[in-house]
Amino acid sequence: MKGKWMPRFQRTYLMLLVLLSCVGCDQLSKTIAKSSLEKSPPISYLGETIRLQYAENSGAFLSLGSGFSKRTRTVLFTVLSGVLLVALVGYILYNQDIGRGHTFALSLILGGGVSNLLDRVFNDGKVIDFLNMGIGNLRTGIFNLADVVIMTGMALVVLLNLRLRRRRAAVEDFSDAGSETEFEDEA
C-alpha cells in the first residue's frame, strides 16, 4: 500500500474523525432502534424492501458463531476483536506508506468494529441489530450501521488495492529500464 506520505498527525486526525463519526452515528441509531423497535413488530418500507426489526446478536456478522459457548464468543468476538482493533490503530498510525484513501477505508473498519465492540462490552456480549433488506423471501440477515461501515471500508480497501495494482502494472509496462517510480494510491 505504498501511498502518498501523510504526517502522523494527519493520519491521527483523519482516523479519529472517521472513528468518532462512525461510533457516534451507529450508537445513536442503536439507541433509537432499542427505544422504538424493541417491543414492536417490524416496520417495513418500500414494499417490504427495507425492514426495521430489533434483534440482539450474540454472534458475529449475520449471527455467525452465535451457537458457540458464551466463553468462546467472549474470547473470539470481544477479546480477539479488541486486540485486532488495537493492532489496526497501530497500523494506521505507524505505517507511513498508507495514504489518505487507505487511512479513510481502514478507519471505517475501525469505527464499525469499535462500535460493535462497545455493544458487546456494555450489552452482555450482544450487538444490537435492526436493519433487514430484501425482496420477498430473499432477505439479508439483520444487521446494523456498524456492519455497513465495516463492509464499506473493506470494499474501499479492495478497490484502492486494485487501482494501485493497475497503476503499478501500467508503469512497469511503460517505464524505462533502471528508472524508479513512486506509486501513489491516493491523490
Query: Across residues 89-114, what is the average pLDDT?
Result: 96
182 lies in a domain? no
> What confidence score (pLDDT) does residue 61 get?
76
Which of the following is catalytic: 26, 97, 124, 147?
Answer: 147
Structural domain span for residue 54: 8-172
Q: Across the chain, where does the E strand assignment appear?
A: 43-45, 50-57, 127-135, 138-139
pLDDT tens for 12-50 read: 999 999 999 999 999 999 999 999 999 999 999 999 999
Q: Determine whether 129 is an active site residue.
A: yes
Q: Determine whether 176 is an active site residue.
A: no
90 lies in a domain? yes
Sequence-distant (6+) residues with CB within 8 A of 17 are 107
**Given pLDDT bands bounded at 50, 70 and 90, which one contains residue 187?**
very low
183 lies in a domain? no
Sequence-distant (6+) residues with CB within 8 A of 111 are 18, 19, 20, 21, 22, 23, 26, 146, 149, 153
132, β-bridge pairs: 51
Asked if 107 and 115 touch (Cβ cutoff 8 Å), the reply is: no
pLDDT tens for 67-98 read: 899 899 999 999 999 999 999 999 999 998 88
166 lies in a domain? yes
Any idea how long the chain is?
Answer: 187
CA distance 45 to 29: 17
15 lies in a domain? yes
1 lies in a domain? no
Cell numbers placing 111: 469505527
Q: For the chain, how many structural domains are there in total?
A: 1
Which of the following is catalytic: 129, 173, 176, 185?
Answer: 129
pLDDT tens for 120-151 read: 999 999 999 999 999 988 999 999 999 999 99
164 lies in a domain? yes
Query: Across residues 50-77, what is the average pLDDT?
Result: 89
CA distance 125 to 139: 25
2 lies in a domain? no
